[in-house]
Structure 1
């Protein structure tokens, strides 16, 4: 996206002059560690070079005038700092509005509104966290334009999660916002979601690429099922806590879980907890494998992750399973799995450089034949976190 074109669009929509500033927040892909972030486990995402640009200017009144260059039919959506109430009618603007609401709840007084144009290249509904990127982008703009220098990027990630949970009603963990806020080029983030301790781990794969495949499907039950999975894990945790001194499912080793799992009589709930425990340990093992340059082991753990998400956590779907099966049939693929919340969206695969073209051909053709949809492929690089440009 051309920044100058966006600036021109901003001035056409909102008028010229004043202190116009430009920002960017990336989407993310999670390499491994899915649905562990609200279970006190580890995650391993990286920020992408795909993301959302924001062009903003402070106003003299309390109006918020919001325009998406991706949704031009909606025109400028006008609201105000006095009307920060979520509604279905507000559509995409619930995400920026939720961040203004969250800053106010955190004691940061915002008296002046703003004009904001956004434009993103994250495919909608792809599971690459366009909503978290928009929250982080808005948080950075609010911080910068109001001189809230004490607000850190970790704070902005936490504000974004709070907004998503309490304003938009999705009980997500911290991973998506943290990756967008704290990303670092050529690195993934090994994050303990229980303590927020993190380290950057170089993605050192000179002979392989990260390939994201978009299934082009997003099933409508994603939000409700996401909240249900979280409730099931919390219920399982409460049962285990009767006989164990643990704060989260992420505190458990596999051996400890296997010893106590039969205390969870509901077998569906037991499978949900099993995924949370095993996936956390897989993530720890995967990062260790990457550090020693063992991409084959990393890929095998990705494959195991997908099976667990499909069978124990039940957040995959037929279309995504088809993509993973096709991917693993290609000889140059180390590993492939669903990424993101589930029920559609994308897969992430680690593919040998010389096999990328074959991968696209085999997976693309097979998916078209089996499902009747044309998949999209993105060979991605990891990028930096949100920033003012």
Structure 2
């Protein structure tokens, strides 16, 4: 039985009615890391790892939500939308945004489950929030624009999950297109699509299986270091409001006035923004070798200048450098763990996976998880055939 069929059968068994089905994808970020909070560019894409959700009205003021993965039901009313602990916050948070915006909801039932690996940095929470948003919009015929749903998902994460995230994850999951990457301007929210025609190549994610505790504190410190750099540049160029407005030459002229660490952080962000633009050009020209080279340069910047990598991620990327079957590789996400993104020849995928898994096991004693992913459409209705 497929996952959508399991959602339907569980729904019928628990709640006794036919559900409306939604499919909401996870996402990868091809390039553009730590640029979002510097008002820069990112290049994400929705992938074929999903959360599926079933919805139906239940003619009451009560909302019953069942998680297949946690095998747990939670119940709330629309008059008591306050944060709790755990996964229910992602559902209640979106409902609270709708109610706060003046939309009229009634009691509903929901069953959800997915195959997005948890903790791998593929944005399962954004997929869930988007799925809830589109599901409620469809169920109650609210006709909410997708960009508004994206904003409700982000605000739900801020208010109920307590995570002050950027908008990229929700945007990519909701607005993704099959075989297209989405370049998002994190300042204006303007976006454009670029073709991802991989030909004989495919995306392969290698999950390091580690999550170092430095991540949260280091993230906040990097933001502060970028802010310091902007403040100094502003003293000479008052029109600058973020690193997005600074070019490499301007920064270089002020190098002696900046702490070395701050200079390296700012240099990385400026270069990464440029790499996003250049990567889009490479995709348009279907130049995968050039695109792969940008992936490696992105990783070098993240590891050496931004210092958010870790030995496990560096090992996984370095392992690929001399392999003819790999066009490019880099760490993906905030850092200190999670996945590497690899552009690998389809014909060599299994051999590559076996080789890198054995080497990683030998070096770190950790079983590597590898996932093949494809670029797909964003959150939408799902119909069983």
TM-score, length-normalised on structure 1? 0.91
Question: How far apart in 1 are the matches of 2:368 and 2:33?
Answer: 22
Question: What is the DSSP-based 3-state SS (H/G/I as helix, E as strand, rest coil) of the residue aligned with 2:286?
Answer: coil
Distance 2:58 2:212 in 1: 39
Asked if residue 199 in structure 1 is aligned to residue 192 in structure 2, the reply is yes
**Deviating more after overlay: 347-356 vs 114-123:** 347-356
Query: Counterpart of 1:56?
Result: 55
Deviation at 1:117, TM superposition (A): 1.1
Cα 1:229–1:85 change in 2 (3 A) is farther
**Pairwise CA distance, 1:71:** 1.2
Q: Which moved more, 1:127-136 or 1:290-299?
A: 290-299
Alpha carbons of 1:166 and 1:269: their partners in 2 closer, same or farther (altered >3 Å)? farther
Q: Distance in 1 between matches of 2:184 and 2:25?
A: 17
Of 117, 124, 135, the residue aligned with 2:129 is 135
- Of the three residues 88, 92, 99, the one matched with 1:93 is 88
Alpha-carbon spacing, 1:232–1:108, altered in 2? closer, same or farther (3 Å)? farther
Aligned length: 380
Residue 98 of structure 2: which of 103, 114, 121 is its match?
Answer: 103
Quickly say closer, same or farther: Cα 1:135–1:257, change in 2 above 3 A: farther
- The residue correspondences of 1:356-367 to structure 2 (distance < 5 A) are 356-367=349-360
Q: 1:218 aligns with which of 204, 211, 224?
A: 211
1:244-302 Cα shifts (integer Å, max 9, x gaps): 2123212222223323354443x433333222211111111111112112211111111
Structure 2 vs 1, CA of residues 127 and 250 (structure 1 numbering), >3 Å: closer, same or farther?
A: same
Residue correspondence of structure 1 range 9-28 to structure 2 within 5 A: 9-13=10-14, 15-17=15-17, 20-28=19-27
Deviations, residues 328-367 of structure 1 (Å, cap 9, x unaligned): 2422211101112222111101112333233212211101
Q: Distance in 2 between matches of 1:154 and 1:113?
A: 25
Assess if the C-alpha contact under 8 Å between 1:211 and 1:350 holds in 2: yes
Q: 1:306 to 1:60 in 2, by over 3 A?
A: same
Contact 2:3 2:114 in 1 (8 A): no
How many angstroms apart in 1 are the aligned matches of 2:19 and 2:346? 42
Which stretch has the larger CA shift, 239-248 or 206-215? 239-248
- The alpha-carbon distance between structure 1 residues 359 and 78, as it changes in their structure 2 partners (threshold 3 A), is same
Call closer, same or farther: CA 1:96–1:252 in 2, change over 3 Å.
same
2: CA distance, partners of 1:220 / 1:114: 38
What runs of 5+ residues in structure 2 fail to find an aligned partner?
A: none
1:377 aligns with 2:370: yes
Where 1:196 maps in the other structure, the secondary structure is coil
The whole-number CA distance in structure 2 between the counterparts of 1:16 and 1:210 is: 40
Is residue 190 of structure 1 aligned with residue 183 of structure 2?
Answer: yes
The answer on 1:171 being equivalent to 2:164 is yes
Q: 1:114 aligns with which of 104, 108, 112?
A: 108
Contact 1:127 1:342 in 2 (8 A): no
Quick one: distance in 1 between partners of 2:262 and 2:145? 37
Task: Tell me which of 98, 123, 131 is aligned to 2:117.
Answer: 123
Shift of 1:161: 1.9
Residue 306 (structure 2) pairs with residue 307 (structure 1): no
Provide the rounded CA distance (Å) in 1 between the counterparts of 2:146 and 2:60: 27
Q: 1:253 aligns with which of 247, 256, 261?
A: 247
Contact 2:103 2:142 in 1 (8 A): no
Structure 2 residue aligned with 1:156, among 149, 164, 178? 149
In structure 1, distance between residues paired with 2:137 and 2:307: 39
Structure 1, residues 288-327: CA drift from partner, whole Å, max 9, x if none? 1121122111111111111111222222222222211222
SS at match of 1:167: helix
Instruction: State the 4+ residue runs in structure 1 displaced beyond 6 angstroms.
Output: none
Closer, same or farther in 2 for the Cα pair 1:357/1:194, shift >3 Å? Answer: same
Structure 2 residue 281 is the aligned partner of structure 1 residue 288? yes
Distance 2:231 2:68 in 1: 46
Secondary structure of 2:223's counterpart equals helix
